[in-house]
Amino acid sequence: MRSRLTHYDQAGAVRMVDVSDKPATRRTARARALVRLPRRVLAALPSNPKGNPLEIARIAGIAGAKRTAELIPMCHPLLLTHVEVQTTVRNGGVEIISEVATTGPTGVEMEALTAAAVAALTIYDMTKALDKSIRISDLYLLEKTGGKSGTYRRAR
């Protein structure tokens, strides 16, 4: 583990890390989120009058990944080469898995996390009229590859 965080300068002021000298390498990240829905809300997903919440969430997650640098102040704008968001109905909710890739000087962990979070928020938005107790949980990084720190895989 590093002794200091790179988003702070010597005086402790926040800064954007200079990645201009870092080599462009292939970098990927996968993230997960869970939207916990009551049974009756899960059952109503296919007939939602606003449209298919899972498909709309998938598209919103992709758009969210592409806008991460606008939302997280110290993130670098990246040219994303791949964004995929999958939504799967599970017992008690919807699991969201996002996958993001780039060839660049910095990783895409924040883009993957943002994609999963935005998709989860979209499901909430699309179903909140049915139940306000919907809960978003378990937002975390599953894995990342590339860069100086190499591969990380979350222990199950």
Active site residues: 125
Residue 63, H or E segment: helix 53-66
Nearest CA-CA partner of 90 in 32, 133, 49, 48: 32
Q: How far apart are CA 154 and CA 38, in angstroms?
A: 28
Beta-carbon contacts of residue 9 (< 8 Å; ≥ 6 apart): 15
Nearest CA-CA partner of 53 in 41, 71, 64, 68: 41
